[in-house]
Structure 1
């Protein structure tokens, strides 16, 4: 994939995600925003660690964080965090099932597709480990939201 194509894909990914977030509704955005931003910062830090340890590699040069993982972190990751909280918060089992489905879709078909179009490839981890890399953040997201809601009721 050419650098221009990758840049276009990254921009589309971010714009479409944020347009979709706007459809969630202002009350839900306000309610879930703090937890989503905290988990997104954690994901960005984990992404930097994964890049350093070569868990995955993006094919295009310059192989910078901004040209690779960052567009995913500020786009689809934020969207999936909002959606899983909106649709699953209140029932931990439902939340985890929804998170597992969303992350399974990203990890298995999308990762295969990304490798085929030479966007990125997993290097030092396999697809199962990549799935757990994402799904292990779901209980943390739920806990952060729970703590924010509990704090709000105490005020």
Structure 2
């Protein structure tokens, strides 16, 4: 149990060490899309808990979703980096997301299950991949919409 706690804390905090390398302007620019997607992923987590799509046997804290360390750590920071390197080129964005999401779904999920962090219950890996694909499209669309609206306001 103690080893799992250490893994979870490392998973939450290590990605944040890369934020200074991202740059202040990139952080500010891509923060809206990342926050939108983090809120969406949190709401999805509550739905998944209710529908038993997956199960986190290790409670992070009472009344806190088990996936919060994933959302606030690698998902949040990874979204910022993904948008920084690919925003403006949708094909490149989707290719990178498919690679990252496939790595998570087909490799990391095995490790997470082995250490007792999460198990899929009423959803299979392919369906999880489709959920990730949907989230990727939504995040890109939100960021595009956000930039379109605010770029338009600045020019007027």
TM-score normalized by structure 1?
0.91
Post-superposition CA distance 1:24-43 (Å, at most 9, x none):
11110010001110111000
Q: Give, in whole Å, the separation in 2 of the partners of 1:93 and 1:11.
A: 34
Match of 2:98 among 100, 107, 110: 100
Q: Give, in whole Å, the separation in 2 of the partners of 1:49 and 1:61.
A: 17
The correspondence of residues 44-55 of structure 1 with structure 2, limited to 5 A, is: 44-55=42-53
Report if the CA contact (8 A) 1:80-1:102 is conserved: no
Counterpart in 2 of 1:21?
19
Report if the CA contact (8 A) 1:7-1:67 is conserved: no
Counterpart in 2 of 1:124?
122
Q: Give, in whole Å, the separation in 1 of the partners of 2:60 and 2:142.
A: 35
Q: Determine whether 1:69 maps to 2:67.
A: yes
Moved more, 18-27 or 86-95: 18-27
Report if the CA contact (8 A) 2:12-2:72 is conserved: yes
Residues 38 and 97 of structure 1: is their aligned pair in 2 closer, same or farther, counting only changes over 3 Å?
A: same
Residues 29 and 117 of structure 1: is their aligned pair in 2 closer, same or farther, counting only changes over 3 Å?
A: same
Counterpart secondary structure, 2:22: coil
Counterpart in 2 of 1:38?
36
Counterpart in 2 of 1:113?
111
Q: Unaligned 5+ residue runs, structure 1? A: none
Report if the CA contact (8 A) 1:55-1:123 is conserved: yes
Greater helix proportion: 2
Counterpart secondary structure, 1:136: helix
Deviation at 1:66, TM superposition (A): 2.9
Q: Unaligned 5+ residue runs, structure 2? A: none
Residues 54 and 31 of structure 1: is their aligned pair in 2 closer, same or farther, counting only changes over 3 Å?
A: same
